[in-house]
A and B are shown apart, each in its own frame.
Chain A
Amino acid sequence: DARVTQTPRHKVTEMGQEVTMRCQPILGHNTVFWYRQTMMQGLELLAYFRNRAPLDDSGMPKDRFSAEMPDATLATLKIQPSEPRDSAVYFCASGLPGFPETQYFGPGTRLLVL
């Protein structure tokens, strides 16, 4: 049963620290998405990759957030420095281009910045 995996599942850190979240997309999926979910804003798209290239990161705060795909099996989302308002659940999803219904979500990383 193919799944998107994310690590860590939970992260508690102090304001100002760097946070790195990792995602392994489903094998064969060449589109990867990063979302953030909060009670106030709901699910927001942060970044989108296709064939490892970032095509849309308009939803991502550029000053402290960065997203990369070092290879086809790994996507990373970094926050440096972290702030309390970054506390949220960060989801990674992967899918096949042209078929939005194939977008599958990982279990998420719950981030708490103190």
Chain B
Amino acid sequence: RKEVEQDPGPFNVPEGATVAFNCTYSNSASQSFFWYRQDCRKEPKLLMSVYSSGNEDGRFTAQLNRASQYISLLIRDSKLSDSATYLCVVNPGGYNKLIFGAGTRLAVHP
């Protein structure tokens, strides 16, 4: 079983749609959690951190459920520019090591 699992997609949605991505992780001792965004042929970039209390950044909302070892990302009012691969990332602790999921592709169309 992979340490971080995501649905690879692709998710094809129209502009303005709401889309949700889910992710599960296997190490219950994991300490911090993130969503990264990766555009085609570019490097991954931090989108947002994920906290147990949930956090929101504009149209993006991230949630963490430690009991279920589950992380989610909700994108409201999708824009064409949201088209990218979204990587679920877990820090298992110890040092700054990050474990990346395989990513979920999102394609927003007009």
Contact = CB atoms under 8 A, between A and B. Distances in A.
A101 B100 contact: no
B95 A43 contact: no
A88 to B, nearest CB: 13
Interface of A: 31, 33, 42-43, 45, 48, 50, 55-56, 91, 95, 97-108
A99 B43 contact: no
Contacts of B102: 42
A21 to B, nearest CB: 14
Interface stretch (B17-25, B44-52, B55-63, B69-77): B44-52
A56 B45 contact: no
B86 interface: no
A107 B46 CA distance: 14
B100 A42 contact: yes
Interface string B88-110: 00010001111111110000000
Given A50-B95, A101-B32, A43 B100 contact: yes
Given A55-B95, A97-B95, A105 B45 contact: yes
B1 interface: no
A50 B102 CA distance: 26
Interface of B: 32, 34, 42-46, 49, 87, 91, 95-103
A94 to B, nearest CB: 10
A109 to B, nearest CB: 11
Given A100-B96, A107-B43, 6 more contacts: A33-B98, A42-B100, A42-B102, A91-B43, A97-B96, A101-B34
A100 B101 contact: no
B42 A107 contact: yes
B103 to A, nearest CB: 7
A96 to B, nearest CB: 8
B105 to A, nearest CB: 12
